[in-house]
Structure 1
Amino acid sequence: MSVVRRGRYRAGEVARRLAWYWLPPVALIVWELVTRSARAAYFPPPSLIVVRLHEMWFSGPLSQAFLTDEAVADLLPSLGRLFAGWAMACAAGVLVGVALGRSYWLSGLVEPLLHFGRSVPPATLLPVFLVLFKIGTPMELASIVYGVIWPVLINSMDGARHVDRQYIETGTVYRLDPWQRLTRVILPAAAPKIFAGLRLSVSLALIMMIISELVGSSEGIGHRMLEAQSQFDIPAMWAGIVLLGLLGIVLNAAFLRVERAVLGWHTSARTADG
């Protein structure tokens, strides 16, 4: 990496870090001032939303890690379905994607169906999942898996398909068996593409979790927001929205840490080449 590019990269990093420090407080202050001056019933100030958020979910006893009974009944099931659906979709997406990426005949046969499937908005299939699985966890898991699997599958297929031929030939020279070729050559070479799909799938899993709970659930964050809407409890509804935003930030930050740890070799090699 040249001195000029390194300097620009560091300047960009400093700008991003400063934005994280000053932008959220400024946005909150503006939000507070505007909503208090407007006095709109459907747009409460953030101070009121934070108080309601604390009352609903984080004012419990120390023995429950400050979680209220509502939090135990809503947050834990939602997070359990989120991670379970995401894990199942990622496992299936990587397995099927790598298999299709390494078989031109199979991918040519199945790829039109894949593009058709991913073009169907997942929310439109919720009535179908309700008929098949009824209201409950199986329906919600099916919705999450269907909405999440596509970016993982497509990126895994693309990554496995475009492995550098020299890597494959090197594995042949060293007489690697099919399993060794998969784990030591194909998966590491396709890992950057796979992780790109996994990162997209995290936000999609959160979206599908809420949509499925709004339609067919008797518990969870989405159900609590729908209940607050029916009772015209606007601060509680906004508390759910804010909680989802914070949850998305936490999940994305955690995934980035895992990605940097797993793909540290790839980042170092790309920096050295630059």
Structure 2
Amino acid sequence: MRRLLLRTVFVLALPVLLLLAWWFASDGSTDVYWPPLRTILKTFPDVWTADRLRTDVFPSVLRLAAGYALAAAVGVGLGTLIGSSRRVRAVCEPVLEFLRAVPPPVLVPVIMLFAGIGDTMKIVVIASGCVWPVLLNTVEGVRAVDSVMLETARSYGITGVTRLRHLVLRSASPQIFAGLRQALSIGIILMVISEMFAASDGIGFTVVQFQRSFAIPDMWTGILVLGLLGFLLSVVFQLVERRVLGWYHGLRASTRRTP
């Protein structure tokens, strides 16, 4: 209990300090583009009502979840295939490096031509940016699997799906989750960018509408919503990661305790 309390204090300490600094720094502001934090917080409940959460936040989260899941599936699948075969890696690596260097926001107009302006376009945009950290980390994780363990599994007749599931993916899972963590932050950014193009709902669309109508405090509340969403998704991701990689964290902890 004490450990959980200390961890909670450490997690919340910096955000609280930053909010306090923002509060006092903006307290006497008369700049229309830099309203006091107390004004933003006072506006928040009036803007983000239950109806707006349903019509704007919920669709954004669904698009993010769909694009992120698609990127995870494609990234882990292709990454495992490329990382397992030296020949496939030699053929694909130049193309992957070329595609990885293209910023996903630049692809938005191109994707709109093929996928239209609906939810499909937004999901594809999110997936196109999230897939790269997952793919590249999976490739490196699969390549780093201990060759002795691979030979041992082969000698015991452990092959096919069993070998892939219990050895290859399990050994590569720490790096896969590192890629998934990077992809999550990229996904939130691309979610907002995709909703700024020909959208009729979503957090990004709402923030732009506030900015265009010069509702500056309302716009700042949208930025706060994005920050809170990112924080909540990060907490959920950490909980999932600790559960899935419990064996890995336990192994590292026992290694540190070993003299």
Q: TM (normalized to structure 2)?
A: 0.93
Q: Alignment partner for residue 80 of structure 1, among 42, 62, 72?
A: 62
Whether the 8 Å CA contact 1:56–1:71 is kept in 2: the answer is no
In structure 2, the partner of 1:57 is: 48
CA distance in structure 2 between the aligned counterparts of 1:25 and 1:273, rounded to whole angstroms: 35
In structure 2, the partner of 1:3 is: none
Whether the 8 Å CA contact 1:136–1:218 is kept in 2: the answer is no
Q: Alignment partner for residue 243 of structure 2, among 261, 264, 271?
A: 261
Q: Alignment partner for residue 162 of structure 1, among 144, 149, 160?
A: 144
In structure 2, the partner of 1:44 is: 35
Are 1:231 and 2:231 matched, yes or no?
no
CA distance in structure 1 between the aligned counterparts of 2:94 and 2:75, rounded to whole angstroms: 16
Q: Cα 1:23–1:145, aligned 2, differ >3 Å: closer, same or farther?
A: closer
**Match of 1:96, as an amino acid?**
L
Moved segments of 4+, more than 6 Å: none
Whether the 8 Å CA contact 2:84–2:142 is kept in 1: the answer is yes
CA distance in structure 2 between the aligned counterparts of 1:221 and 1:247, rounded to whole angstroms: 10
Q: TM (normalized to structure 1)?
A: 0.88
Q: How many residues align?
A: 253
In structure 1, the partner of 2:75 is: 93
Are 1:175 and 2:175 matched, yes or no?
no
Map 1:57-136 → 2, pairs under 5 A: 57-58=48-49, 67=50, 69-136=51-118
1:47: how far off? 2.0
Q: Cα 1:193–1:21, aligned 2, differ >3 Å: closer, same or farther?
A: closer
> Which whole-Å deviations, capped at 9, do the CAs of 1:180-235 have from their partners, x for residues lacking one?
11011101011111010011111111111000001231110000011101100001
In structure 2, the partner of 1:147 is: 129
Whether the 8 Å CA contact 2:29–2:35 is kept in 1: the answer is no
| Paired residue secondary structure (2:34) | coil
